[in-house]
Amino acid sequence: MKWLSLILSCILPSITRSMHTFPPGFLWGTAASAYQTEGNNTKNDWYYYEQTEKQKPAAKRKLAGECGQATMQWQNYEQDYDIAQKMGVKIHRLSIEWSRIFPAADKPDMEALAIYKKQLISLHQRGIKTIVCLHHFTIPIWVLHKGGFLNRDYFLAQFKQYLEVVIPFLAEEVDYWLPINEPNIVPSASYLIGMFPPFKKNIFQYLRVYRLMIEMHAAAYHVIKRQNKTAPVGVAFAYMHFQPFNAKNKWQQCLSYLSDKWANRIFFEAVVNGRWAFPLGWGAAAPDIKGTLDFTGLNYYTTLYLKNTGPVPFKKGDVITDMGWVVYPKGIYAILHQLFKITNKPIIVTENGTATTDESFRIDYFKSHLTEIHKAMSEGVPVKGYMAWSLTDNYEWQHAYSKKFGLISVDPISMERTLKKSGWWYKEVIEKNGL
């Protein structure tokens, strides 16, 4: 028996290893966004609403706190990128803060733009590719005061002006473009369920803003392509995974099907097929929007159960993250297949991760999701990369600093960075090109 266990102990590890090896050149990455990390952004709508919320009694506030200095990434990016380099990261995702480039209408701040360029250069110098998002939730206060997302023509004109300044200036340092982060979440979180500023609950506004976000996406696509025909342009899409609370309930199945259509698929109907599908429209053609996607970026975190009366957060026995989200790795597997079927384009996972203070929990979360991604890939879904959310702990929107998504912790006073256990684990995954 001794010899048998000896042979097994030699063979088994190599079998398990080969089970989860990723293809050469797989883009192991990390992700972050401007407002969540840079610090001292005081010219956008989120800052504005943080100030107005502060005036309310604590019990009535919808935002847990202010963004303030965040991780002072604006000053500390070299440190962050040094750690990313040590981890062996192949690609890093960041976003440009519109209100930094245009703190006021018509006058771009070219010095701020130059700092973004320096960041991209410093990533490239460390052998890290760049993936740049042009809109991650926030808009300048002066745009907000003109009606914000609800004043379509004005908004689009100003957004195009921003694109015309930023894209040509940064283009040579950008490897992948993501015009918009979560074009389905801004409309739903801000205008349908009232969770994000301006806390509205209005289905007509939801649809208007969703349409606008698709137009913003297409506008950016065209400016990028004019600059460089071969630059890959995607989207960071939070493709929501819906499922019936009771798998056999027909009505809940129907709700899940419709939710998928109305939250997710309408976006791809527009950008892939050039059609304003219901409820964004009645099927009218959108020729300017058709074919404006070279790859899909997928942000995935959880699943959503639907009961006859609406969504429910979890089922008995589910594992829950610090955000209260169900850990459901099978969802990413299902969505990867679905997305590939809908778009026939390569996919990059542009966000995946969990809020937790328990490093074993975070590592297990990553492991289980990467295992499902690997499975989808082995069945033919072309996933080209994976970005852990997030490089550092940061400002988590309505929860402020209470949720920890980072591979690196940041001391709020000294701003000292420390690689967490999950960061060391991710380094090993990158080194081995798998798990």
The residues that are catalytic are: 351
Helix (H, G, I), strand (E, B) or coil at 386: strand
Q: Is there binding between residue 264 and ligand GCO (CB under 6 A)? A: no
Q: Quick one: 133 or 223, whose CB is closer to ligand GCO? A: 133
347 neighbors 298 (Cβ within 8 angstroms): yes
- Asked if 300 is part of the footprint of ligand GCO (rule: CB under 6 A), the reply reads no
Whether the Cβ atoms of residue 384 and residue 27 lie closer than 8 Å to each other: yes
Among the candidate windows 178-186, 212-220, 328-336, 380-388, which touches ligand GCO by CB under 6 A? 178-186
Site string for ligand GCO, 69-108 (x = CB under 6 A): ----------------------------------------
- 227 with 221: CB under 8 angstroms? no
Instruction: Rank residues 33 and 76 by Cβ distance to ligand GCO and give the closer one.
Output: 33
Binding part of the chain for ligand GCO, among 146-154, 179-187, 224-232, 411-419 by CB under 6 A, reads 179-187
Task: Output the DSSP codes for 336-351.
Answer: HHHHHHHH-S-EEEEE
- Ramachandran angles phi, psi of 358, nearest 5°: -105, 110
Distance CA 268, CA 210 (A): 12
Interacting residue with ligand GCO among 351, 406, 422, 423 (CB under 6 A): 351
Shortest separation between residue 69's beta carbon and ligand GCO, angstroms: 17
Closest CA to 138 of 38, 230, 281: 38
396 binds ligand GCO (CB under 6 A): yes
| Phi, psi of 392, rounded to the nearest 5 degrees | -125, 160
Q: What whole-number distance in Å separates Cα of residue 49 and Cα of residue 310? A: 29
CB 385 within 8 A of CB 348: yes
- Write out the E strands in 301-434: 303-307, 310-312, 347-352, 383-389, 408-410, 417-419
If binding is defined by CB under 6 A, does position 181 make contact with ligand GCO?
Answer: yes
Under rule CB under 6 A, residue 33 binds ligand GCO: yes
37 or 227: whose CB is closer to ligand GCO? Answer: 37
| Residues in region 101-140 near ligand GCO by CB under 6 A | none
Scanning 12-20, 48-56, 168-176, 180-188 for contacts with ligand GCO by CB under 6 A, the matching segment is 180-188
Kindly state the smallest distance separating residue 67's Cβ from ligand GCO, in Å: 12
The verdict on 182 binding ligand GCO (CB under 6 A) reads yes
Q: For residue 332, what is the DSSP state?
A: H
Which residues are near ligand GCO by CB under 6 A?
Answer: 33, 36, 181-182, 185, 238, 299, 351, 389, 396, 405
